[in-house]
A and B are shown apart, each in its own frame.
Chain A
Amino acid sequence: MVTHPDNTRDASQDAPPAVAVKGLSFRYRALDEESPPSKKTRIAVPDSSVAGAEAKPSYAIRDISFSLAHGELLLIAGPSGCGKSTLLKCLNGLIPHTFRGELSGEIWIEGRSAAGMSLRERARYIGTMLQDPEKQIVGSTVEQEIAFGLENLNVPRAEIRRRVDAVLQRLHLESFRQEATFALSGGQRQQVAAAGVLVMQPSIFLFDEPFANLDARAIDELEELINSLRAEGRAVIIVEHRVEETLKLRPDKVLLMRDGRQVFLGDVSSFLEMADPEQVKLPIEATLRRATEPRQVVERLVRPIVTRSAGAAEAHPAEPVLVFENVHYRYEADGEEILHGISFRVGRGETIALLGPNGAGKTTLVKQALGLLRPTAGTVLLYGEDTRKLSVAQLATRIGYVFQSPSAMLFAPTVQKELSFGPENLRFPPERLQRAVQRAAEALDVARFAERSPLSLSFGQQKRVSIASVLAMESRILLLDEPTAGQDYRSYISFMEHLRELPELDALLFITHDLDLALRYTQRVLLLKDGHLVADGAPLEVLADQTLLESCNLRPTSLLRYLLTECSRSLA
């Protein structure tokens, strides 16, 4: 291995560090309306939230320096738009290979300068796990996926077989070899994507937000993998705003970024002392330690949303708005039953979290209320009417469903037209349509983009437009599927606070696997497992049951643990 003279500054170590970055800055290439688009290069602003091609691009990252030894773990934290993803691209070589711009500073990988290193050479040292394993997986079967990188490097067939076998064995995936990658669960998909990187035997691993959308078991497996990578002497870099989850891995170093600059580099304990809990999600203890009055903090954090003012709720106290009575469902007459007799009622003013592991039947359940699926047995009553007698369109005026990804529904040329789409389908008279659209636009604060295309907005803005376009149908019950997915902690919190301000609704339901969301914003939790409703009650009551959580693949958060100890202390 060639050791460059410049690299001997790290005198404490004999071997060069796995990665060393010195004074790294990057600016994406300036955009110009007249410039012909290059088919080979892609120009992008650092993060999707910074929409605005008009503005002159400034440095996406500026003057970043760190070094990481073999076997060490570095956590790069910061809100979206802080330049985390750009830094990752500089390390794995997508900058400057695919994304053009001004790059300055130095990157040393295994003692070699990265300048002039091709992607192919870099792939020998650095493996990258992208944020969404679904996007990373290019093979139709598990075996094809794992072999992909080696195939591209023109490794002989026998050698590929041998290495694929070894990786399958190591990750206990042998029985999945011929499985279709599409049919895998979220956790398995993550493992298979990791296998596809591991097979290339890089000494440095990059993980881009690996904990998004994983359930407890998948997180455990991923942690196990990361720990074993470190034990083998590989360097690991994790980019994540969910600091709480990553800290369990005991990172050796934390790099905090804001606005493209490095605000902090050091160990975990000093990081927790300086980090701002409003910017990144910290364990509750760290948040409380900084507060003078912990009780107040908790009161501020745990504040369920009330959808109906007390007076209105008392007007019809007993009448439920949505009732499930012994609902069964199977897709095909001879198919497996998905829902096995679900019963519950939703009263006016309630905010409910529908929790459960992936595949428990949450989505199948709510589709019954929307009429997208009809129960095979049992009834769903909406304001006392059997949903079987109503069309999907008729139901849409009473109950609105916001899908997880806004891009699944946004299509119109302007936000205004997007919001009018539902009411037009439902044949609202013009005055009512206009009023409904205006109210919805104001409630979600999207009126100022009324004439822009919804497709040109940032993710958070799109999310609000998608809710507004459902609200515009004047439905009084709102279902939100994973409302916080794809958002960083800060925008997640401001989004949830926004929901408090919605005009009067009869009920609000979140479909989620985020325990903190249930604890902080809801009055009631419905816990679903394998098509059975296994618990129904106040969040803290339901989530107090450790064994139940474990069987439902839910992982207690630091907030939950803290609230439970507080509870038992006050009882004692």
Chain B
Amino acid sequence: MLIALPYIKRDTPIHRLDPRVKLLLLLAYGLAAAQTSNVWLILVGFVGSACYYALARLKWSETRRAWLFIIFLNVILVFGNYFLSGGAIVQGIDLSHQHQLFSLPFFGFLNHPPYVGPKPLIFSVESITYMLTMGLRNFSIAFLAVVIPYTTNPGQIGVAFKQLGLPDQFAYAIDLSFRFLPTLARDFSVTLDAQRARGFELDKLRGGIFGRIARLAPLVVPIVIGSVVGAEDIVNAMELRCFGVGRRTWLTELQTRPLDRLLMALIVALFVLVTALNILGNFYVSGPLHILHEQGLPAFLLR
């Protein structure tokens, strides 16, 4: 069993980006999107990140597993969130009242004993829009997140963290863990084969949940203990080649183009703008400065 890293070598604008730009964009966008539930703003973000994703030219066949997982998780969470809160999901938005469309009999949490009981599930224009906004937000973040492993050469991650200011030794440890991956994947399959040849069947473990976990020991113990004991030799090998004696050079150097710098500046500026708007919005009850605190629904829906 070999491990195939998701990185796909291709020449696209996203592949050429400095890995720090991609990380910064993901982080800044996530923190900015968390500051508003304005459906229009999130929609803009969604379209933008979808375009960004499209630029990476990733095929469905390459990313299928990741997307199936993300879709599954989001469906569960977004709908789960709706049902669990009985439809009262709108947060962080200045609303006088909700425009209810209909309601269904359902169960929910009560604020008096027995705490769980029948409770109507409310559907309003606001709550449905809010649910949609949540989905859009999560998927727009996923677009930015999924791009990273498929378009970033793993060899550049350690150095990216180094240039983000992480000390030499920690940044090198990231590189080193990528070095260990294929070796451990091989150890994993050797141990699995060795135990299968002793009648161990991973898909037919006996016992209840506790027993079954304990019965993973034949797989987990040899791999972990074997590699921990073997690591002593790696420590020696690294010390003999002077690792950790002082500052080190990194042979690989990230090429930061003017475009990368411009993008980083833009990302930071946008993030600062959104945060400023969010703060200012607290002082204005309406108008363009209050935009982050509104859901942005057109009037005809709210009749």
Contact A400 B197 (CB under 8 A): yes
| With contact pairs A135-B230, A140-B178, A409-B195 given, residues A393 and B201 touching in the complex (Cβ less than 8 Å) | yes
Tell me which of B220, B230, B234, B249 contacts A138 (CB under 8 A): B234
B172 to chain A, nearest CB (A): 9
* Residues of B in contact with A, size category: 35 or more
A160 and B250 alpha carbons, distance in the complex (Å): 10
Q: Which residues of A contact B222 (CB under 8 A)?
A: 407-411
A393 and B203 alpha carbons, distance in the complex (Å): 12
Among B46-64, those with CB < 8 Å from A are: none
| With contact pairs A144-B251, A154-B247 given, residues A408 and B194 touching in the complex (Cβ less than 8 Å) | yes
B239 within 8 A of A: yes
Among B174-202, those with CB < 8 Å from A are: 175-176, 178-179, 182-183, 187, 190-191, 193-201
Q: Which residues of A contact B200 (CB under 8 A)?
A: 421, 425
Tell me which of A138, A403, A455 contacts B194 (CB under 8 A): A403
> What residue in chain B is nearest A148 (Cβ atoms)?
B241
Q: Which residues of B contact A130 (CB under 8 A)?
A: 233, 236-237, 240
Tell me which of A120, A132, A405 contacts B245 (CB under 8 A): A120
Contact A134 B183 (CB under 8 A): yes
A281 and B196 alpha carbons, distance in the complex (Å): 36
A264 to chain B, nearest CB (A): 28
Interface string of A469-498 (1 = CB under 8 A from B): 110010000000000000000000000000
A412 and B222 alpha carbons, distance in the complex (Å): 9
A101 within 8 A of B: no
Contact B190 A152 (CB under 8 A): no
Contact B241 A152 (CB under 8 A): yes
| With contact pairs A182-B182, A411-B221 given, residues A155 and B249 touching in the complex (Cβ less than 8 Å) | yes
Interface string of B232-256 (1 = CB under 8 A from A): 1111111111111111111111000
Q: Which residues of A contact B247 (CB under 8 A)?
A: 154
Contact A422 B241 (CB under 8 A): no
A496 to chain B, nearest CB (A): 22
Task: Report the stretch among A10-18, A29-37, A90-98, A540-548 that lies at the interface.
Answer: A90-98
Contact B199 A396 (CB under 8 A): yes
A144 and B178 alpha carbons, distance in the complex (Å): 12
A188 within 8 A of B: no
Tell me which of B217, B229, B251 contacts A147 (CB under 8 A): B251
Interface string of A244-256 (1 = CB under 8 A from B): 0000000000000
A401 within 8 A of B: yes
Contact B229 A393 (CB under 8 A): no
Tell me which of B183, B194, B199, B252 contacts A182 (CB under 8 A): B183
B226 within 8 A of A: yes
Most interface-central of A118, A128, A131, A154 (chain B CB within 10 A) = A154
A147 and B251 alpha carbons, distance in the complex (Å): 7
B155 within 8 A of A: yes
Contact A119 B245 (CB under 8 A): yes
Interface string of A156-186 (1 = CB under 8 A from B): 1100110010000000000000001110000
Among A57-91, those with CB < 8 Å from B are: none
A200 within 8 A of B: yes
Chain A residues with a Cβ closer than 8 Å to the other chain, count? 70
Contact B198 A140 (CB under 8 A): no
Q: Which residues of B contact A412 (CB under 8 A)?
A: 217-218
A149 within 8 A of B: yes
Q: Which residues of A contact B199 (CB under 8 A)?
A: 392-393, 396, 422, 425-426, 473
> What residue in chain A is nearest B220 (Cβ atoms)?
A411
Q: Which residues of A contact B73 (CB under 8 A)?
A: none
Most interface-central of B197, B200, B201, B249 (chain A CB within 10 A) = B197
Contact A370 B197 (CB under 8 A): yes
B225 within 8 A of A: yes
A189 to chain B, nearest CB (A): 12
Most interface-central of A151, A157, A372, A400 (chain B CB within 10 A) = A151
A213 within 8 A of B: no
| With contact pairs A123-B242, A182-B182, A182-B183 given, residues A150 and B197 touching in the complex (Cβ less than 8 Å) | no
Contact A396 B233 (CB under 8 A): no
A400 and B230 alpha carbons, distance in the complex (Å): 27
| With contact pairs A408-B187, A409-B222 given, residues A152 and B194 touching in the complex (Cβ less than 8 Å) | no
A153 within 8 A of B: yes
A81 and B70 alpha carbons, distance in the complex (Å): 55
Contact A421 B243 (CB under 8 A): no
| With contact pairs A401-B197, A407-B229 given, residues A151 and B155 touching in the complex (Cβ less than 8 Å) | no
Contact B179 A138 (CB under 8 A): yes
Contact A160 B251 (CB under 8 A): yes
A370 to chain B, nearest CB (A): 5
Among A442-458, those with CB < 8 Å from B are: 455
Tell me which of A98, A127, A140, A411 contacts B236 (CB under 8 A): A98
| With contact pairs A408-B194, A421-B218 given, residues A157 and B249 touching in the complex (Cβ less than 8 Å) | yes
A141 within 8 A of B: yes
A206 and B217 alpha carbons, distance in the complex (Å): 39
Q: Which residues of B contact A391 (CB under 8 A)?
A: 201
Q: What would 27 A/B residue contacts be, using CB atoms closer than 8 Å?
A: A97-B239, A119-B239, A138-B238, A139-B179, A144-B155, A151-B248, A152-B244, A152-B245, A153-B248, A154-B246, A157-B251, A180-B182, A367-B193, A392-B196, A392-B199, A396-B199, A400-B197, A401-B194, A403-B193, A405-B190, A405-B226, A408-B194, A408-B222, A411-B217, A421-B198, A425-B198, A473-B198
Sample of 10 further A-B pairs with CB below 8 A, known A200-B241, A408-B194: A118-B245, A123-B241, A132-B233, A134-B183, A137-B179, A152-B242, A152-B243, A391-B201, A409-B222, A410-B222
Binding site for B on A (CB under 8 A): 42, 92-94, 97-98, 118-120, 123, 127-128, 130-132, 134-141, 143-144, 147-157, 160-161, 164, 180-182, 196-197, 200, 367, 370, 372, 391-393, 396, 400-401, 403, 405, 407-412, 421-422, 425-426, 455, 469-470, 473
Binding site for A on B (CB under 8 A): 154-155, 175-176, 178-179, 182-183, 187, 190-191, 193-201, 217-218, 220-222, 225-226, 229-230, 232-253
In the A-B complex, the 9 residue pairs with the smallest Cβ-Cβ separation, listed nearest first, are A425-B199, A411-B221, A149-B241, A135-B233, A422-B198, A409-B194, A182-B182, A393-B199, A152-B242
